[in-house]
Structure 1
Amino acid sequence: MKIAVPAEVDLGEPRVAATPDTVKRLSALGATFAVQSGAGLNSGITDADYEAMGATIVPTGADAVAGADVVLKVRRPTESELSAYPRGALVLAIMDPYGNDAALKAMADAGISAFSMELMPRITRAQVMDVLSSQANLAGYRAVIDAAEQFGRALPMMMTAAGTVPAARCFVMGAGVAGLQAIATARRLGAVVTATDVRPAAKEQVESLGAKFIAVEDEEFKQAETAAGYAKPMSAEYQAKQQALVAEHIKKQDLVITTALIPGRAAPRLVTAAMVSSMKPGSVIVDLAVERGGNVEGSQAGYITNVNGVKIVGYLNVPGRIAASASQLYAKNLFAFLETMIDKGSKALAVKWDDELVKATLLTRDGAVVHPSFAPKVEGAVQ
């Protein structure tokens, strides 16, 4: 069982899909490793670190994947990469399948079995494999650090002989994994924190972290969560009431962190241009949803935008801004999932194709797109 770890071809991707620890663990299960030289450098892992755990270092990505049974990546392989992949290989990565039909077809045509880690179901046995949670947790932390870096004042209240510095006010919009970590981090740094979310369960979580919850708590609000724990799209009437509440609240804030995402959809617009204009010069907004169109009107992917003295931070790949930690957690997510596909007795791959985790994440197999959410619709088929 050969496992390949090629370097990421996206120059903006510093993470790596395996660490010396996961190489050691998988080697104990019968795997041999081929790691492309330099694959881990941006995450603080040297070739020697991998070699010490038994991995073979090879010069190119094509050398790494030659004859591989499994390929571990951070991002979906490009068409040029796929040309070197063996047919039948298992490829585990963050595949970003929504709206990328051509990329899915390319993986199907390459004959690989592609697994999309971000489609992992949020059930108890899969918690250790939950890529969205592990990476969002770090993104929430880093968002506050980035906001503090751009903010021209201290976050905690400071009482000095020269006078008192008031605590910064931080408003977190969206109290999922990223939002809750942002709340916790801002609180640790001494800010006065408030937060909002459309899911009723979030109120207790927000308050447990010492922040104040801000929301229009009507009947629609009480029903605003799916069985899987995601936020439901809200009615126009509710959005108008919530927007009015937020507009009044946001005027007084120094820092705003937006984290709202709905799987498979464009990011909801939470902060309007009028809200941005109402904030004090020197305030900072960090838009963690900028790669999906953004929660903030005026945010630009990859840039810091200055609107009348208010900075809107639109950094891309925020987990990658804390790459060493992100790679450590991501590699553990991959290990935990791949471990379920290995027979401990024979130390060989033994994928259980009817396992709920496999069925939920498998995009392509045997030359076809097989995931029901992304497979091409057959004309005339019974729905």
Structure 2
Amino acid sequence: MKSVGLIVEYNPFHNGHAFHLNASKEAADADVVIAVMSGNFLQRGEPALVSKWYRTKMALLNGVDIVFELPYRFAVQKAETFANGAVSILDAACCESICFGSESGNISDFNYTIEFLQEQQQPFEDHIHQFMATGVSYPKAVSLAFQQLSDSKKYLDLAKPNNILGLEYIKAINQQKSMMRPLTVPRKNADYHDEHFASETIASATSIRKAIFSDADGKTEVDQYVPGPTKLLLKEYLQHFHVFHQWENYWSYLQFRLLHCSPDELREVYEVEEGLENRLLAAALEAGSFYEFMKKVKTKRYTWTRLQRLCVHILTNTKKVDITSYSVKASYLRLLGMTGRGKEYLNKKKREFSLPLVSKLSSFKGHEITLDIKAARIYSLGIPNQVKNEMIKQEFNQPPIYIK
């Protein structure tokens, strides 16, 4: 069975994701689609709109065959770490190719760019440091440094988020000496950060979430931008858990964590750099909402995304040692769900997997997976009390979702 791997968040699964899934399957001539999906907290430092279990159902009902969870220590991370974790999971699951969406849409652009960066590594790093010294953020410094050294149209635009991620996926494949073949398909119609609907059928997840939260009753019509299963599952989630998740649901808990911490304790949290702890504590005393807090903390040096990731680590009390003591590769395959075809693939291939397959938490012990468990418990704080315990227990009791 020929397999293609996708690295996803599905927050929520929309028509653009359906296009990417089908285009990837065709490009790889694959029989099975394997997705590595972030858990309840995402790469941009946000809580997922709905839980990982509902997003797994969306994936399976829309054409994915196997869903593995990207562990917390990779999911809420910069692009390089995010990519290393996801690629290691697909490689361990014997995936033959990986296909990602990009603004470029041309795999040769990525190969040219990687070769160029390898040849210009030291000047590139020097330029990044020079631009960062002027006060710009790291992603902006990377883009400016690349522009300074390159004038060829065949190279990537490193100001584009999916190009950046795609570059890191290929670098991870090379560094891990994986035999997976990288493929890319162009993003269709909507840009990653678009906040407004740009076409009649394709919209970014950002714009879909913004539309959902702009309506206090949660009845904003996004039906034309999401497949039928997504529409039904979003409605079901809201009826059952009464909310969609966003940072404001967690503000009181984050504020409590900050006000409870001393500066020394805060410096131990992952991604808190020296000096930033005082700014965070001062803002927590004054802010009345998460958005207000972020506006007070934001500087030219730190991107909004970087600060949100830091806030997730504060919320979950994830220390530097919790992240830095592990390998750049994953150490297990947490199975969230599968279809009949996915089950057939697992039965045929699992003996060849280079990492343990985890379908029950009780069968796997290890400190690393406790980060995922803790993140799931914290995520449950964003819903009303009457259904909170149900979500907490689900992390232990929920078997992999099976769609025949």
What TM-score do you get using the length of structure 2 for normalisation? Answer: 0.26
The structure with more helix, counted as a fraction of residues: 2
Q: Tell which has more relative contact order, 1 or 2 (C-alpha 8 A, sep 6+).
A: 2
More strand by share: 1
> Bigger radius of gyration, 1 or 2?
1
